């Protein structure tokens, strides 16, 4: 039975944003952990580690995010591992984010001049210490714009989790549309809410990038 779009529907859409934000944060925690390992391995002097990192990035980036969600939700269920939608979504997004963040951060690491690596080595720092004390502080400046750009894309890509039953902002929009049959109004609200999440990130990124450029 159809009904009019009401303020209660708007409240439900706004509340659904918390699941979009939570899924994004969980994906960033998992993806950042994987991404740091991938970046460190990809920038390593050890060829096997570089090949392993390259293989991981190639496989993950070569498979659509939607397919990863299907693998961890429907695929594992076939093998007898029934993951709740939010767990499957978190794992899928973490694997996906790890590859992209790892490649972004690897690129930032290798963009640092070779002389900086040699200088760090000359004072007796091992590889981990070189990264921590010399390379990463410089690479952060390079990595901020693409990292924030990926986070914005990740926020919007959380909409795909609706296909495995995760009720976030887009899924709530679908449910509201089915009840009110007013797709234009509902998805205009959904788009506005996504904009409210993403735009402040891009603004903060530009401010932070400018601040770091001044310090440089």
pLDDT of the chain along its 216 residues, tens only? 567 888 899 999 999 999 999 999 999 999 999 999 999 899 888 899 999 999 999 999 999 999 999 999 999 999 888 999 999 999 999 999 999 999 999 999 888 888 887 888 888 888 778 878 888 888 888 888 889 889 999 999 999 999 998 889 999 999 999 888 899 999 999 999 999 999 998 888 777 777 666 444
Q: Which residues are CB-neighbours of 173 under 8 A, at least 6 positions away?
A: 13, 16, 186, 187, 189, 190
The number of beta carbons lying within 10 Å of the beta carbon of residue 165 is 13
Q: How far apart are CA 10 and CA 189, in angstroms?
A: 8
Q: How far apart are CA 41 and CA 43, in angstroms?
A: 5
pTM of the prediction? 0.87
Q: Residue 80 gets which letter from DSSP?
A: T
Q: Which residues are CB-neighbours of 69 under 8 A, at least 6 positions away?
A: 88, 89, 92, 160, 161, 163, 164
Does residue 148 sit in helix, strand or coil?
A: helix
Count of residues for the chain?
216
Q: Mind listing the domains of the chain with CATH numbers? A: 7-215 (1.10.3720.10)
- Cα–chain center distance at 205: 15
* Angle subtended by helix axes 136-157 and 7-42, to nearest 10: 140
Q: How far apart are CA 5 and CA 19, in angstroms?
A: 22
The dihedrals phi and psi of 157, each to the nearest 5 degrees, come to: -75, -10
Residue 1: both structure tokens together: 């039975």
């Amino acid at each position: 039975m159809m009904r009019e779009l009401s303020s209660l529907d708007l409240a439900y859409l706004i509340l659904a944003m918390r699941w979009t934000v939570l899924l994004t944060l969980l994906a960033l925690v998992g993806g950042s952990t994987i991404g740091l390992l991938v970046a460190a391995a990809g920038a390593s002097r050890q060829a096997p580690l570089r090949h392993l990192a390259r293989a991981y990035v190639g496989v993950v980036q070569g498979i659509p995010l939607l397919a990863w969600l299907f693998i961890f939700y429907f695929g594992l269920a076939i093998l007898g591992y029934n993951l709740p939608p939010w767990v499957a979504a978190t794992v899928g997004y973490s694997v996906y984010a790890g590859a992209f963040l790892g490649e972004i951060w690897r690129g930032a690491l290798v963009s640092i001049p070779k002389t900086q690596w040699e200088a760090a080595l000359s004072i007796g720092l091992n590889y981990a210490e070189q990264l921590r004390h010399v390379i990463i502080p410089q690479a952060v400046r390079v990595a901020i714009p693409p990292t924030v750009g990926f986070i914005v894309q990740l926020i919007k890509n959380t909409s795909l989790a609706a296909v495995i039953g995760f009720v976030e902002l887009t899924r709530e929009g679908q449910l509201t549309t089915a009840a009110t049959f007013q797709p234009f109004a509902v998805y205009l609200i959904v788009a506005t809410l996504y904009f409210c999440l993403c735009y402040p990130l891009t603004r903060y990124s530009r401010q932070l990038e400018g601040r770091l450029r001044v310090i440089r």
